[in-house]
Amino acid sequence: MRLSKYFLPILKETPAEAQIASHRLMLRSGMVRQASAGIYSWLPMGFKVLRKLENIVHEEQQKAGHIPLLMPTLQSADLWRESGRYDDYGQEMLRVTDRHGRDMLYGPTNEELITDIFRSSVRSYKDLPLTLYHIQWKFRDEIRPRFGVMRGREFFMKDGYNFDLTEADALHAYNRHFVSYLRTYERMGLKAIPMKADTGPIGGDYSHEFLVLAETGESEVFYDASVTDMTFGDRAIDFSDHAALQSIYDEWTTPYARTDETHDADLFAKVPGTAQRTSRGIEVGQIFYFGTKYSEPMNAVVIDESGERVPVHMGSHGIGVSRLVGALIEANHDENGIIWPEGVTPFHAGIVNLKQGDTDADAACEGLYQGLLAKGLEPLYDDREERAGAKFASMDLIGLPWRVTVGPRGLKNGVVELTSRRTGESEEMSPQAAIDRIAQIYGRA
Ligand code: P5A
């Protein structure tokens, strides 16, 4: 993409309403624009990051054997009356009436709708296990939407629902989500720690939240410092292997890690004093097992091996995809702007032309641009007629991991400069070497 042809409405001033870094940086770098309280338009660069996260979530869900579908944002109130949640959900639910006077709502979550889909077509235990998921906009009329996309009213969520014959199978589905979430967050360059959590309006008595540690997080958390050293890495996983997934679950849940709602001071006291940590965290996902809470009242039953009609065991599993954009920035920024991890960056590298209009500089930039495209990468070429200082400031603000700086002086010696946004370190090399290095970093050599 050439910056002169893109739509990247960078703000010079820091917006007064933004209290935390991610909100400020998303507004300043032209990623989002508030449409109304807690509701945002995703401008092109923000939309690109959102799509990247969505793709990672899709890939990891499908590796775990979960099947994508798409349910609507508007739901009929009748289903929620069946489960008993229409009245329970309270003022967070946005209720609407259609022209025929029918009660509708903008879905805050989809347990009822998916249970209705399931019961209308699945009859036998032979069709289980089944996990369906979608990535769709949700609405919760939060009383105090704040921190930009972190606590929005409209937000983008991946929500998955498992249907199993037995509690043991449903707990395996819980573990499958647990493990696939560890992989998902790591691929995004994030450390998200699973913590025992409360279940709130979703229900059940089994739940973990995944939290990214950050001072600006809304949850208070208590944990054993050893959990922050754990990484999942590149292990081969057989998602159908019950014992293997259980042992990963056990490994990750052995160190103490709880949110304030489930915190147990006596247990925490057993963590060695030097390892006890209290901090804050951003909840980027949550998984639940709630047995037959929805299947029983909604009559979602299958015929089991002995011919009995039994309600299915269910759980639901959410990832806050739009919140993750904010969480990623909270965890990856400095005073000059965002620092995107390579797995989620909106463009792979920036090209800064220090002297737009100079024949050699223009030609070298064009060569770099085409060379990176040919490797299957997406460069962002700053081809504007701007001062070098302004171009550097924009690149630092939008935070692409790699920048290639091209100027007539370097070109006299046949070199350009490759700079890492994270370390600030620069190295001179030929334009071709820069292309090859960037391609290698992204596994496209
Ligand atoms: C699990 C999937 C559920 O709704 N039902 C379907 C279950 N869980 S949850 O914890 O309530 O939400 C899942 C994730 O969505 C994100 N989230 C939000 N993101 C931005 N703004 C909000 N107001 C908001 N509310 C929830 C969180 O990441 C949460 O973990």
In a domain, 437, yes or no: yes
Q: Whose CA is nearest to atom 10 of ligand 1?
A: 286
Is pLDDT above 90 for 5?
yes
- For residue 323, give both structure tokens: 């919140």
Are residues 303 and 360 both part of a single domain? no
Helices (H), 139-217: 167-187
pLDDT of residue 202: 83
Decide if 78 is inside a domain: no
Do 196 and 311 sit in the same domain of this protein?
yes
Domain check: are 377 and 326 in the same one?
Answer: no
**Ligand 1 atom nearest residue 210's Cα:** 30
Question: Residues 38-69: pLDDT tens digits?
Answer: 999 999 999 999 999 999 999 999 999 999 99
285 Cβ closer than 6 Å to some ligand 1 atom: yes
- Whether residues 259 and 297 fall in one domain: yes
* Phi, psi at 219, each rounded to 5°: -105, 140
What's the confidence (pLDDT) of residue 176? 98
Residue 153 Cα to ligand 1 midpoint, Å, equals 11
- pLDDT at 270 (0 to 100): 96
Instruction: Report the percentage of the chain scoring pLDDT > 70.
Output: 100
Domain shared by 275 and 318, yes or no: yes
Same domain membership, residue 410 and residue 284? no
Residues 6+ away with beta carbon under 8 Å from 55: none
Residue 373 Cα distances to 6, 360, 379, 380, 441, angstroms: 16, 20, 7, 10, 15
Q: Is 294 in the pocket of ligand 1 (CB under 6 A)?
A: no
For the CA of 324, the closest atom of ligand 1 is 28
Q: In total, how many domains does the chain have?
A: 2
Q: Which atom of ligand 1 is nearest to the CA of 158?
A: 2
Read off the tokens for 57.
């979530």
Task: Say if 427 falls within a structural domain.
Answer: yes
Residues 132 and 175 in one domain: yes
Q: Position of tokens 């980027």? A: 284
Q: CA-based angle 161:167:173, to the nearest 5?
A: 40
Domain match, 251 and 395 both: no
Do residue 223 and residue 364 come from a single domain? Answer: no
Name the domain boundary from 319, 337, 355: 337
| Shared domain check, 365 and 323 | no
Q: At 156, is the pLDDT very low, low, confident or very high (cuts 50, 70, 90)?
A: very high
What's the CA-to-centroid distance between 199 and ligand 1, angstroms? Answer: 11
Mutate to test the pocket of ligand 1, among 161, 163, 323, 324 (most ligand atoms within 8 A of CB): 323
| Ligand 1 center to 320 CA (angstroms) | 6
Mean pLDDT in residue range 21-38: 97
User: Domain containing 369 — which CATH number?
Assistant: 3.40.50.800
CA distances from 221 to 152, 208, 327 (A): 22, 13, 16
Q: Distance between CA atoms of 95 and 171, rounded to whole angstroms?
A: 34
Q: pLDDT at position 394, please?
A: 98
Q: Is the pLDDT of residue 337 over 90?
A: yes
CB of 142 within 6 A of ligand 1: the answer is yes
Would you state the pLDDT for residue 201?
Answer: 83
Residue 309 falls within a domain, yes or no?
A: yes
Give the mean model confidence (pLDDT) for residues 67-86. Answer: 97
Q: Whose CA is nearest to atom 13 of ligand 1?
A: 318
Q: Among 137, 157, 158, 322, which is best to mutate for testing ligand 1, by the most ligand atoms less than 8 A from CB? A: 157
Q: Is the predicted pLDDT of residue 318 greater than 90, yes or no?
A: yes
Q: How far is the CA of 318 from the centre of ligand 1 (A)?
A: 6
Distance of CA 415 from the midpoint of ligand 1 (Å):
49
* Inside any domain, residue 202: yes
Question: In terms of residue numbers, what domain contains 312?
Answer: 3-71+110-337
Least confident of 49-58, 131-140, 204-213, 309-318: 204-213
Q: Provide the pLDDT confidence category of residue 81 given band limits of 50, 70 and 90.
A: very high
Determine whether the shortest distance from the Cβ of 211 to ligand 1 is under 6 A.
no
* Residue at 156 is within a domain: yes
| 53 within ligand 1 shell (Cβ under 6 A) | no
pLDDT surpassing 90 at residue 440: yes
Residue that finishes a domain, picked among 337, 356, 373: 337
The answer to whether residue 76 sits within a structural domain is: no
Q: Which tens digit of pLDDT belongs to each residue from 210-238? A: 999 999 999 999 999 999 999 998 899 99
pLDDT at residue 204 greater than cutoff 90: no
Residue with CA closest to ligand 1 atom 17: 320
Q: Which atom in ligand 1 lies closest to the alpha carbon of residue 284?
A: 28
Report the distance separating Cα 280 and Cα 95, nearest Å: 33
pLDDT-derived band at 82 (thresholds 50, 70, 90) equals: very high
Task: Please give the structure tokens belonging to residue 147.
Answer: 């921190």
Ligand 1 center from residue 25 Cα (angstroms): 23
How much is the pLDDT for 203? 81
- For ligand 1, say whether the CB of 320 is within 6 Å of any of its atoms: yes
Percent of the chain scoring above 90 in pLDDT: 95
Listed in sequence order, the residues at least 6 apart from 235 whose beta carbon sits closer than 8 Å to its beta carbon are: none
Exposure string (b/e) for 351-381, b if CB count within 10 Å is 16 or more?
Answer: bbbbbbebeebeebbbebbebbeebebebbb
DSSP code of residue 129: S
Average pLDDT, the chain: 96
232-259 pLDDT per residue, tens: 988 999 999 999 999 999 999 999 999 9
Mean pLDDT to the nearest integer, 290-315: 97
Does residue 90 fall inside a structural domain? no
Phi/psi of residue 372, nearest 5 degrees: -70, -40
* Residues 278 and 383 grouped into a single domain: no
* Spatial separation of the C-alpha atoms in residues 36 and 339, rounded to whole Å: 28
**Minimum CA distance residue for ligand 1 atom 25:** 151
pLDDT digits (tens, 9 = 90+) for 352-397: 999 999 999 999 999 999 999 999 999 999 999 999 999 999 999 9
Residues 223 and 174 in one domain: yes
Q: List the residue whose alpha carbon is closest to atom 8 of ligand 1.
A: 318
pLDDT confidence of residue 29:
98
Say yes or no to pLDDT of 327 above 90.
Answer: yes
Residue 140 Cβ inside 6 Å of ligand 1? The answer reads yes
Domain boundary among 313, 337, 361: 337
**Gap from CA of 159 to ligand 1 centroid (Å):** 8
Q: Compute the distance between CA of residue 333 and CA of residue 349 in angstroms, rounded to an integer.
A: 17
